[in-house]
């Protein structure tokens, strides 16, 4: 995993989480993540919902990779929505 990239994690529970990877600890099978969100259905389709409501927002949580069934870099269009949802910055669409 590359530090600073946004990844999608399919958890063993079936949930799909999107987060930015801040650090890896392969020896302990953990990844430090930032701004984790869960993909959830909403009135207008799929949406991004914070996955931890009571955690300190200034501390990055660790994800136990034993709880992850599969992971991959997040698709660019979803990554742009993630950046908008977690930072408030609207990324302009690329046009040719």
pLDDT tens for residues 10-21?
999 999 999 999
Sheet strands (E) in 1-96: 6-11, 16-25, 30-42, 45-50, 62-64, 68-73
pLDDT exceeds 90 at position 68 = yes
Q: What is the pLDDT of residue 10?
A: 97
Per-residue pLDDT, 91 = 66
Rounded distance, CA 33 to CA 55, Å?
13
If you average pLDDT over residues 42-68, what whole number do you get?
A: 89
Residues forming a β-bridge with 63? 31
pTM for the full predicted model: 0.86
Tell me if residue 13 falls in helix, strand or coil.
coil
Asked if residue 94 has pLDDT above 70, the reply is no
In the three-class reduction of DSSP (H, G, I as helix; E, B as strand; rest coil), residue 62 is classed as strand
The answer on pLDDT for 44 being more than 90 is no
């Amino acid at each position: 995993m590359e530090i600073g990239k946004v990844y999608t994690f399919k958890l063993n529970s079936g949930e799909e989480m999107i987060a930015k990877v801040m650090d890896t600890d392969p020896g302990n099978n953990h990844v430090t993540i930032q701004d984790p969100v869960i993909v959830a259905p909403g009135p207008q389709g799929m949406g991004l919902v914070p996955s931890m409501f009571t955690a300190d927002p200034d501390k990055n949580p660790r994800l136990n990779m034993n709880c992850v069934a599969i992971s991959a870099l997040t698709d660019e269009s979803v990554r742009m929505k993630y950046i908008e949802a977690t930072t408030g910055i609207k990324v302009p669409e690329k046009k040719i």
